[in-house]
């Protein structure tokens, strides 16, 4: 038991270190208190994972943009069940992700994923999914973080901004969000932030208004930083030009008790999703905070509410099957669960 605990701690620290060292870049629609659920009459985020022989939805091995770190099959993961699950909402069916239609709908537009290395993964998975739909079209990439589908004039950008708010000279500035200058000219913005707020000490000080402090409760700091972002959306976004998404927080699968198996060695031996539609540990506190902050925004913001469905996927992490580095129960194998995030994103565009 002692050893198991030690191992779990080890994995936790490793997973966090990995997130923080990853030099990535990187819906509910609401107005005031009205959070709707994406597809008419159906909460597409409520459902369960079902086996689907036709999965994965496309052949990833041909994607030149697939990051090697998260190519779990390429990295030797022997079990393949985790790529065979499809998200099935309780009260409706999701449209299949149609890459050509997605590109046509976004013609002339830029979509940007902003957040931590999981946002980077999200954008990269979208690029791979679109590439699979138009493999022989003209796709250019000045750098891996800006991929352009020339024939459709669609640009997918990933931007690494793990707190959304600024960090300058190792001071985390809860009130400052300079990157907003760049974001406001993008057509579709997909934000996320959370995991870095757990980071032991990525800063020396936190600036909170006039105060400079050394420590602050993580959740409280997160709330303040996200509120700065919310105010920015409220004041700077022109909803006729820019559509804003916030992607729900994603879990670490470190503590087996959260999914009812206290003996689990983090995610490392998990081979299937949690069955059913509820995660035993419930909604995470950070996601509740995020939703409270979202409700203060009067401009339209769509919550891409993938938290619960992703919590259920304890089987979809790289675990030991990273290209290099420590076992990882924070990022996601590609393919795996992120195609579903993009399928849901697509559903909100229809």
Ligand X SMILES: *[C@@H]1O[C@H](CO)[C@@H](O)[C@H](O)[C@H]1NC(C)=O
117 is catalytic: yes
In this chain, which stretch among 214-222, 243-251, 257-265, 290-298 interacts with ligand X, using CB under 6 A? 290-298
Tokens of 308: 């619960």
- Binds ligand X by CB under 6 A, chosen from 105, 184, 224, 231: 231
Q: Does 298 bind ligand X (CB under 6 A)?
A: yes
The residues in 232-271 that bind ligand X, with binding defined as CB under 6 A, are: 234
* Binding-residue total with ligand X (CB under 6 A): 11
Separation of alpha carbons 203 and 344, rounded Å: 35
Q: Does 138 bind ligand X (CB under 6 A)?
A: yes
Q: Does 34 bind ligand X (CB under 6 A)?
A: yes
Give the nearer residue to ligand X in terms of CB position, either 142 or 324: 142
Q: Does 220 bind ligand X (CB under 6 A)?
A: no
Q: Does 64 bind ligand X (CB under 6 A)?
A: no
Give the nearer residue to ligand X in terms of CB position, either 91 or 140: 140
Min dist. Cβ of residue 303 to ligand X (A): 14
- Binds ligand X by CB under 6 A, chosen from 61, 81, 91, 140: 140
Instruction: Note whether 293 and 285 are within 8 A (CB).
Output: no
Q: Does 150 bind ligand X (CB under 6 A)?
A: yes
So which residues are the catalytic ones? 117, 328, 331
- Report the interface residues with ligand X, using CB under 6 A: 34, 36, 138, 140, 150, 230-231, 234, 296-298
């Amino acid at each position: 038991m002692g050893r198991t605990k030690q191992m779990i701690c080890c994995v936790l620290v490793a997973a966090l270190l990995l997130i923080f060292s990853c030099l990535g870049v990187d819906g509910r629609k609401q107005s005031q208190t009205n959070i709707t659920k994406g597809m008419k009459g159906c909460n597409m985020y409520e459902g369960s994972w079902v086996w689907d022989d036709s999965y994965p939805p496309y052949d990833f091995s041909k994607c030149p943009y697939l990051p090697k770190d998260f190519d779990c099959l390429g990295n030797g993961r022997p079990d393949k069940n985790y790529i065979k699950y499809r998200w099935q909402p309780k009260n409706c069916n999701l449209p299949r992700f149609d890459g050509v239609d997605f590109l046509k709908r976004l013609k002339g537009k830029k979509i940007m994923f902003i957040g931590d290395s999981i946002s980077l993964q999200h954008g990269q998975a979208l690029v791979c999914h679109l590439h699979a739909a138009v493999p022989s079209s003209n796709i250019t990439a000045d750098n891996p973080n800006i991929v352009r589908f020339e024939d459709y004039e669609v640009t997918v950008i990933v931007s690494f901004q793990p707190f959304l708010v600024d960090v300058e000279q190792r001071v985390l500035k809860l009130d400052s969000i300079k990157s907003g200058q760049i974001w406001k000219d993008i057509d579709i913005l997909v934000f996320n932030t959370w995991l870095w707020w757990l980071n032991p000490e990525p800063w020396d000080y936190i600036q909170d208004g006039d105060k400079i402090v050394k420590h602050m409760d993580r959740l409280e700091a997160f709330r303040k930083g996200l509120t700065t972002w919310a105010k920015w959306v409220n004041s700077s976004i022109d909803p006729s030009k820019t559509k804003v998404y916030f992607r729900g927080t994603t879990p670490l699968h470190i503590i087996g008790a959260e999914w009812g198996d206290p003996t689990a060695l983090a995610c490392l031996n998990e081979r299937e999703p949690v069955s059913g539609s509820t995660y035993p540990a419930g909604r995470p506190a950070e996601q509740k905070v995020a939703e409270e902050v979202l409700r203060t925004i009067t401009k339209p913001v769509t919550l891409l509410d993938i938290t619960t469905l992703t919590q259920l996927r304890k089987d979809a992490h790289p675990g030991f099957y990273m290209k290099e580095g420590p076992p990882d129960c924070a990022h996601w194998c590609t393919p795996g669960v992120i195609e579903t995030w993009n399928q849901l994103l697509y559903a909100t565009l229809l």
